[in-house]
Structure 1
């Protein structure tokens, strides 16, 4: 990665203005975006599902270049509720994209989620990007989403082998994901 070393650390309160600017920049030209991801982050950071250890920033020297947030959600079946995580958003400053920063953030987030004993992570994301990190179509495990979206964009990552099959059911997102 071009002689730049990345430092990944837990987000601190004073990082928030820079995180919001980074998210705006990262999603500015994304056609599928509603360009309100920074407001989603504001809501998620104050929601009951917020886990400070899973709100991560990536830095090159003193410049914020990337951000990832994993928030707790549930997968509901007829008989049980299984905690899971939702990956949203992942953002990398445009001039630093395609340099491995997003990959480094995802791998670190996975590692920290495992340390916190989470077994699965769900993402609504690019069908060609996330599979390289072990994400598979959620529908293959009987996991459904509470809204209309093409199945190839709905994916699950097993942090524990077999966990996605045990999680079969409908994803329940906290209301913070939907408020505007």
Structure 2
């Protein structure tokens, strides 16, 4: 059985290992996803309730983090990285992490979650092009892959360019 829970300090090394394994050799990866998670911890962008692990039999097998970026001075969550150990692919762990991340954000009255990823994958979780809601990416070439999932606290007046937390510039 898979347990989704908040990350604790004891999980840091396991989270790093899972993110490294999850993105090793992936065409769309920077190769520094685990370093990005490490760099986000302790910054103003870090939000502990939004760093979740998937655990099976006491072992961390997946991880997702959302950290704060901004749109027109308003803090908005940016999701990623999300990774599952390759030995556990195809078991629904990534989907469980995504559902838990979105539920946690909605329960904490966040207006939206933004991510950069494949629309074919993330569309099933309710993500749509961010431009549909007046949110633009920092880098215009992200266009098609820059997505948003609005939540219950969404405010249609929120418009502008989304800026990820500073560690994304270094490791993203």
Which residue of 1 is the match for residue 12 of structure 2? 16
1:47 matched to 2:43? The reply is: yes
Q: Select the structure of larger CA radius of gyration.
A: 1
Matches within 5 A, 1:69-148: 69-76=65-72, 81-148=73-140
1:123: how far off?
0.3
Q: In 2, Cα distance between the equivalents of 1:53 and 1:17?
A: 18
Which of 5, 29, 36 is the equivalent residue of 1:33?
29
Q: In 2, Cα distance between the equivalents of 1:83 and 1:150?
A: 20
Q: Could you state the TM-score of these two structures normalised by the residue count of structure 2?
A: 0.93
The two structures, once aligned, show a CA RMSD in angstroms of 1.5
1:154 matched to 2:152? The reply is: no
8 A Cα contact 1:135 1:157, kept in partner? yes
More helix by share: 2
1:164: how far off?
6.4
Q: In 2, Cα distance between the equivalents of 1:172 and 1:152?
A: 17
> Which runs of no fewer than 5 residues in structure 2 stay unpaired?
none
- The 3-state SS of whatever aligns with 1:149 is helix
1:82: how far off?
2.5
- The 3-state SS of whatever aligns with 1:19 is helix
Q: How many residues align?
A: 171
8 A Cα contact 1:156 1:164, kept in partner? no
